[in-house]
């Protein structure tokens, strides 16, 4: 009888699932397209930034990898994306919202950027601090080597500028000046306010009968921040808060929520403000480790954003080691889960140890990427210094 009852269930639930699948596939494809567009923009600006530095000649342009295509392919073919699509997770939709906001900022469509940000925040609270990278993106423009170096090169360029062609100079000026365009940012803030009030009004109208906005905040953001659900996921907090003592729970909650906010945002912001897209990547990667309920869909997002910087990050350290670590832990994780939950032969520590190791590798990945990006900037500086020296030598002789 038990079998009789149970067997039709699974078939039905599979059938029921196929309806939602289409929406998620569309979201994935759309985010891949947008990623490609972002990548093309970034590639263009990368080429434009490198050319005046003399690192790159127009004939050598083939050396630049098409990062947009790579990122889109990384997103679509990532096993994590496929998993979250097959598993009917909502993370593809959250990812789409994040990518829409980045796309809007990159193409300077301010209302679109604000809309993406608000939707992403509405869907998962952790996207809210993306507002800083977006403001930088709108204020300073696309990713570029640091200002100091630019000014330096421009200086050198002006000195020797008598012979160089004028059109190139003109092309440089909008990016080299790097003024913080307050107008765009204010425009963005205005649109953020418009969209957020729009979403809040809609929510309050639809939730009028069920306790209103207060209830919604308590049930959604409160649920995220208070880590009430302790079922196992690929993060570390479920087990931490299942084991942590009840009397220190509130203290630890405050500490860890502040940890996400205070350790990642300000320090990264100071060093990476000239590269807002990379800042967005670093922040997303960081939150996907420290989220209260992380999923593999988050990893898919930041890995594809990482692929946007393949040109800059070619010299990343330990990349093979980290790659192997990712593969190893993502294969071990289901095994340990099966041991613990289904077979009962394993212990909770097996799975938690695995989650811990995965978090370590993610931490290492973020750290090494940031390191590689800073090294790249340093290398650019060196190259420009050499170029100015050469120019100076030519001037002297």
Partner 1 sequence: MASLLRSLFLLLIVQSFLVAIAFGSNEVEEFSEALLLKPLPDRKVLAHFHFENRAPPSNSHGLHHHLFPKAISQLVQKFRVKEMELSFTQGRWNHEHWGGFDPLSSMNAKPVGVELWAVFDVPQSQVDTSWKNLTHALSGLFCASINFLESSTSYAAPTWGFGPNSNKLRYGSLPREAVCTENLTPWLKLLPCRDKDGISALMNRPSVYRGFYHSQRLHLSTVESGQEGLGSGIMLEQTLTVVLQPDTTSVESNMQPSWSLSSLFGRKVVGRCVLAKSSNVYLQLEGLLGHGSKNVDTEIEAHGLWKNADFELSLKPERVLRESSSFLFIFDIDKSSDSEPFDLGLTWNLPSKWSCQQAPLHASRFLMGSGNERGAIAILLKATESQEKLSGRDLTNGQCTIKANIFQIFPWYIKVYYHTLQIFVDQQQKTDSEVLKKINVSPSTDKVSSGMMEMMLELPCEVKSVAISIEYDKGFLHIDEYPPDANQGFDIPSALISFPNHHASLDFQEELNKSPLLSSFKEKSLVRSYTEVLLVPLTTPDFSMPYNVITITCTIFALYFGSLLNVLRRRIGEEERFLKSQGKKTGGLKQLLSRITAKIRGRPIEEQSSSESPAAQSSVLSSKLIFKIILVAGAAAAWQYFSTDK
User: Residue 257 and residue 265: Cα distance in Å, rounded?
Assistant: 12
Choices 85-93, 145-153, 210-218, 336-344 (CB under 8 A): range interacting with partner 1: 336-344
Structure tokens at 354: 């695995």
Q: Is 381 in the site for partner 1 (CB under 8 A)?
A: yes
| Contacting residue, 8, 18, 163, 209, with partner 1 by CB under 8 A | 8
Choices 46-54, 85-93, 128-136, 367-375 (CB under 8 A): range interacting with partner 1: 367-375
- State the nearest-atom distance from the C-beta of 9 to partner 1, in Å: 7
Count of residues that interact with partner 1, criterion CB under 8 A: 52
- State the nearest-atom distance from the C-beta of 380 to partner 1, in Å: 12
Q: Is 374 in the site for partner 1 (CB under 8 A)?
A: yes
| Contacting residue, 188, 278, 352, 361, with partner 1 by CB under 8 A | 352
- State the nearest-atom distance from the C-beta of 171 to partner 1, in Å: 29
Specify the residue, 203 or 356, whose C-beta has the smaller distance to partner 1: 356
**Pattern of binders to partner 1 over 211-240, x per CB under 8 A?**
-----------------xxxxx---x-xxx
Specify the residue, 200 or 217, whose C-beta has the smaller distance to partner 1: 217
Q: Is 15 in the site for partner 1 (CB under 8 A)?
A: no
Q: Which of residues 248-277 bind partner 1 (CB under 8 A)?
A: 259, 263, 267-268, 270-271
| Contacting residue, 63, 349, 390, 395, with partner 1 by CB under 8 A | 349
User: Residue 304 and residue 295: Cα distance in Å, rounded?
Assistant: 15
Specify the residue, 61 or 243, whose C-beta has the smaller distance to partner 1: 243
**Pattern of binders to partner 1 over 289-328, x per CB under 8 A?**
----------------------------------------
Choices 94-102, 180-188, 208-216, 243-251 (CB under 8 A): range interacting with partner 1: 243-251
| Contacting residue, 242, 331, 335, 395, with partner 1 by CB under 8 A | 242
Q: Is 210 in the site for partner 1 (CB under 8 A)?
A: no
Place of tokens 């608000």: 118
User: Residue 229 and residue 241: Cα distance in Å, rounded?
Assistant: 9
Choices 48-56, 148-156, 168-176, 351-359 (CB under 8 A): range interacting with partner 1: 351-359
List Cα–Cα distances, 334 to 300, 339, 354, 355, 360, in angstroms: 17, 9, 10, 11, 18
- Give the footprint of partner 1 on this chain (CB under 8 A): 1-2, 4-6, 8-9, 13, 228-232, 236, 238-246, 259, 263, 267-268, 270-271, 340-344, 347-349, 352, 356, 359-360, 363, 366-367, 370-371, 374-375, 378, 381, 385, 389
């Amino acid at each position: 009888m038990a079998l009789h009852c149970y067997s039709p269930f699974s078939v039905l639930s599979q059938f029921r699932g196929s309806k939602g699948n289409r929406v998620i596939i569309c979201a994935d494809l759309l985010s891949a397209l947008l990623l490609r567009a972002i990548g093309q923009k970034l590639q263009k600006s990368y080429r434009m930034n490198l050319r005046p530095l003399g690192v790159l000649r127009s004939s050598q342009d083939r050396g630049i990898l098409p990062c947009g295509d790579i990122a889109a392919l990384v997103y679509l073919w990532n096993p994590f994306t496929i998993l979250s699509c097959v598993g009917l997770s909502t993370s593809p939709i959250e990812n789409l919202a994040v990518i829409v906001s980045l796309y809007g900022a990159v193409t300077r469509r301010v209302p679109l950027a604000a809309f993406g940000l608000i939707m992403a925040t509405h869907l998962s609270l952790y996207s809210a601090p993306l507002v800083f990278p977006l403001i930088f993106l709108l204020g300073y423009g696309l990713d570029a080597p640091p200002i100091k170096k630019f000014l330096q090169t421009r200086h050198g360029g002006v000195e020797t500028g008598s012979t160089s062609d004028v059109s190139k100079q003109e092309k440089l000026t909008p990016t080299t000046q790097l003024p913080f365009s307050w107008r765009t940012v204010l425009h963005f803030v205005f649109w953020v306010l418009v969209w957020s009030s729009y979403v809040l009004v809609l929510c309050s109208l639809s939730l009028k009968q069920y306790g209103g906005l207060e209830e919604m905040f308590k049930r959604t953001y409160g649920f995220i921040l208070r880590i009430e659900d302790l079922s196992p996921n690929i993060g570390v907090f479920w087990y931490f808060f299942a084991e942590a003592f009840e009397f220190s729970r509130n203290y630890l909650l405050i500490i860890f929520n502040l940890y996400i906010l205070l350790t990642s945002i300000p320090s990264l912001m100071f060093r990476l403000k000239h590269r807002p897209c990379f800042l967005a990547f670093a922040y997303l990667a960081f939150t996907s480790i420290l989220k209260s309920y992380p999923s593999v869909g988050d990893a898919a997002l930041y890995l594809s954003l990482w692929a946007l910087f393949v040109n800059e990050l070619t010299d990343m350290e330990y990349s093979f080691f980290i790659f192997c670590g990712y593969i190893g832990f993502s294969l071990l994780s289901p095994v340990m889960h099966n041991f613990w939950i289904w077979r009962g032969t394993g212990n909770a520590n097996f799975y938690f140890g695995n989650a811990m190791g995965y978090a370590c590798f993610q931490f290492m990945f973020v750290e090494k990427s940031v390191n590689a990006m800073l090294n790249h900037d340093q290398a650019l500086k060196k190259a420009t210094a050499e170029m100015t020296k050469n120019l100076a030598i030519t001037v002297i002789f």
